[in-house]
A and B are shown apart, each in its own frame.
Chain A
Amino acid sequence: MTGSTLLAQRWERPDLLPPRPRIAIETLAGSWKKTNDKPQWIESLIVETTGETEGDEIFVTIFGSSPPSPRLWGRARAETIYSGGIATGDARAGAFATHYRFDDFEVEVQANLNLGLLVVATFVRFREAGRMNDRFTREFFYRDAEGDAS
């Protein structure tokens, strides 16, 4: 692959004809616990997936770790689901994104699989300026074998 055609080859891809490949979302499903022994922003997550016949959706339930993270964030539907590459439905390096809205702030959540870990990034934005600044977090979670939610 030469440098002059890299982006064209990677993103324009007229050779990829519809339909889009199905993204294997079940790869992301499970009960995920924080790898860090200390308190952090998110304590754990449950990622549930629906079947192909039900539209292939992801629902995530987040449990907060330490304030101001809410103890229970609730259950949210993933708004966008990503595979690990433009020409594949393989989700072993895939991701999903969703939003949560609370009284004082909203959170953009992006979670991706990396070598068996779920890497969760959040972007916390307060509705009004106050004593706390908007914040970015990235935290790591391992799959709890006893809490599989697939």
Chain B
Amino acid sequence: MTVVAPASAALSVDVILGDWRNTNAEGSLARIVCTANDAGTIDVRVFGRFDNGDQDWGSVPAAIYAFTFDDPAAGAFSARFERGAARIDLQANVKAGVLVVVELVAFHDDSGRSNFFDREFFRRVSQ
């Protein structure tokens, strides 16, 4: 399911940690849960909004990033999920208390679906 190797550690991750809910009740992703891991980075768990409720996509390690080269705190992350014929790259950063998530969705099958870009916003409900 996943595949992105974590980036270097040593950044604090408090800004990113928590249970984030989509601000749009009709958004594609319902929840994103960010937890600290033993590698000093974070694990990202996604719940897609799907038939009969939210669908757990599982958890993947994410690479974390600061906003400046000398900032000791991480404010952004990237993570990759594989869902059937879809590869979903999530690129997220916290801005003014909101988790801004870019979704880059690419299909590796022979369907007529176009690779597409989307962006959604999440608010933190617990840390």
Which B residues lie within 8 Å of A47 (CB)?
A: none
B64 at the interface (CB under 8 A from A): yes
Tell whether, in the assembled complex, residue A16 and residue B116 are in contact, meaning their CB atoms are under 8 Å apart: no
Sampled A-B contacts (27; CB under 8 Å):
A1-B26, A4-B53, A6-B26, A6-B50, A11-B28, A17-B112, A21-B112, A23-B115, A82-B115, A82-B116, A83-B117, A84-B116, A86-B113, A86-B114, A95-B104, A95-B117, A110-B91, A121-B102, A125-B8, A125-B63, A126-B8, A131-B70, A132-B70, A133-B72, A134-B64, A134-B65, A135-B65
Tell whether, in the assembled complex, residue B117 and residue A18 are in contact, meaning their CB atoms are under 8 Å apart: no
Q: Chain B: residues with CB nearer than 8 A to chain A?
A: 7-8, 10-11, 25-28, 48-53, 55, 63-72, 75-76, 78, 86, 89, 91, 93, 102, 104-107, 110-117
Chain A's nearest CB lies how many Å from the CB of B51?
6
Q: Chain A: residues with CB nearer than 8 A to chain B?
A: 1, 3-8, 10-11, 13, 16-21, 23, 68, 80-89, 93-95, 97, 108, 110, 112, 121, 123-126, 129, 131-138
Closest to B55 in A: A7
Give complex CA distance A13, B76 in Å.
Answer: 31
Q: Which of A5, A8, A84, A133 contacts B70 (CB 8 A)?
A: A133
Tell whether, in the assembled complex, residue A23 and residue B114 are in contact, meaning their CB atoms are under 8 Å apart: yes
Give complex CA distance A112, B89 in Å.
Answer: 14
Q: Which of B66, B86, B114 contacts A133 (CB 8 A)?
A: B66
Which A residues lie within 8 Å of B86 (CB)?
A: 11
Tell whether, in the assembled complex, residue B11 and residue A134 are in contact, meaning their CB atoms are under 8 Å apart: yes
Which A residues lie within 8 Å of B78 (CB)?
A: 108, 123
Closest to B64 in A: A134
Tell whether, in the assembled complex, residue B71 and residue A82 are in contact, meaning their CB atoms are under 8 Å apart: no
Give complex CA distance A88, B116 in Å.
Answer: 9
Closest to A14 in B: B111
Tell whether, in the assembled complex, residue A18 and residue B70 are in contact, meaning their CB atoms are under 8 Å apart: no
Tell whether, in the assembled complex, residue A133 and residue B71 are in contact, meaning their CB atoms are under 8 Å apart: yes
Chain B's nearest CB lies how many Å from the CB of A67?
10
Chain B's nearest CB lies how many Å from the CB of A142?
19
Tell whether, in the assembled complex, residue B66 and residue A135 are in contact, meaning their CB atoms are under 8 Å apart: yes
